[in-house]
Amino acid sequence: MPETITSRDAARFPIVASCTLLGLYLFFKIFSQEYINLLLSMYFFVLGILALSHTISPMMNRFFPANFPNKQYQLLFTQGSGESKEEIVNYEFDTKDLVCLALSSVVGVWYLLRKHWIANNLFGLAFSLNGVELLHLNNVSTGCILLGGLFIYDVFWVFGTNVMVTVAKSFEAPIKLVFPQDLLEKGLEADNFAMLGLGDIVIPGIFIALLLRFDISLKKNTHTYFYTSFVAYIFGLGLTIFIMHIFKHAQPALLYLVPACIGFPLLVALAKGEVTEMFSYEESSTPKEVPRASKEETIEGDKKEK
């Protein structure tokens, strides 16, 4: 089930992120970078496979033939016995999920052995999509608090110290997307990269997803705020790249993304007279758990809708 971020969580987030970032920086300064990255590689190898498998599963279902022998499985771990028995893990999956897991494992081995930028980006995108799916903001005010706090966090740690850049360059894990700057010269073996942290994708992403749900709540059959914020994100990211190219220095992406992602939708709300509706929109922090349908039922339902 998605986890809902409240205003209190949003206010604490930059502090927790700062402590984590500083802790990683000190770890890299005190301990051997080689051993730390070995442990992190194994950790993100497992997480990356699971995240990528979960991400590609809906897409892969379209390629399986109708007569594919799909069997259902259940992984169940319990603690105690009798009336005190408690479920720790209860995971249902099928043969199609196992195929997706096998394909993801190939990417995982490729990343573990070569640290190739394409494998890194596949894992990074999977983490980002899962993050946006599983993290929800309860209202627009909480989103503004979160984005505003991380705006200050990003600017301070990039411009005020060398901590952010040092950790990003030392941290050999798919926590960032990398873009080869010498792709035309060296092709797939490019080794000179520009970086975009996953936080610069997930944090604005959950705010944009909130605006999409707000669009749906208006019941006007339009996605005005979603498209506006999406265009604003592209604009902010493009501006980040432009400034980085001009000044030849790492830039805190949230410095440009936050004003764009908040400012553009707010201007649209002012023009449409929907500012009150936007800031009064609220999502429950304890969403009801919907019984999980089997994939066959879901696919059959999609066919009926079409």
Q: Where are the alpha helices (DSSP H) in 78-223?
A: 95-114, 117-134, 140-155, 163-170, 183-186, 199-218
9 is catalytic: no
Provide long-range contacts, Cβ within 8 A and 24+ apart, for 31-34. Answer: 33/170
Are the C-beta atoms of 165 and 222 separated by less than 8 Å? no
Q: Are strands 176-180 and 135-137 parallel, antiparallel or unpaired?
A: unpaired
- Say whether 154 is catalytic: yes
283: helix, coil or strand? coil
Q: Which of 154, 182, 191, 215 is catalytic?
A: 154
First to last CA, the chain: 27
For the chain, the residue count is 306
What is the amino acid identity at position 169? K
HSE (side-chain half, CA atoms, 13 Å) at 156? 12
What is the pairing mode between strands 86-94 and 193-197?
Answer: unpaired
The catalytic residue among 9, 200, 215, 302 is: 200
Active site residues: 154, 200
